[in-house]
Structure 1
Amino acid sequence: MHWNDDQGINPYQKLSEYERATRVDRMIRDVGRYLPAVFDAKYVDSLFEIKTVLVKNEGDDGRPILFEKHPELPGCYSVLGGKIDNIYDVLEKLETESFSSY
Structure 2
Amino acid sequence: MEYDEARKVYKIRNKDAPFCPNCGQLLSGYDTRARHVVDSSGQILWFRLRRLKCPGCEKLHLELPDFMAPKKHYEARVIQDVLSGKIDSCPADNSTIRRWRKK
TM-score computed with the length of structure 2 as normaliser: 0.32
Question: Which one scores higher on RCO, CA 8 angstroms, separation ≥ 6?
Answer: 2
Name the structure where strand makes up a greater proportion of residues: 2
Larger Rg: 1
Name the structure where helix makes up a greater proportion of residues: 1
TM-score computed with the length of structure 1 as normaliser: 0.32
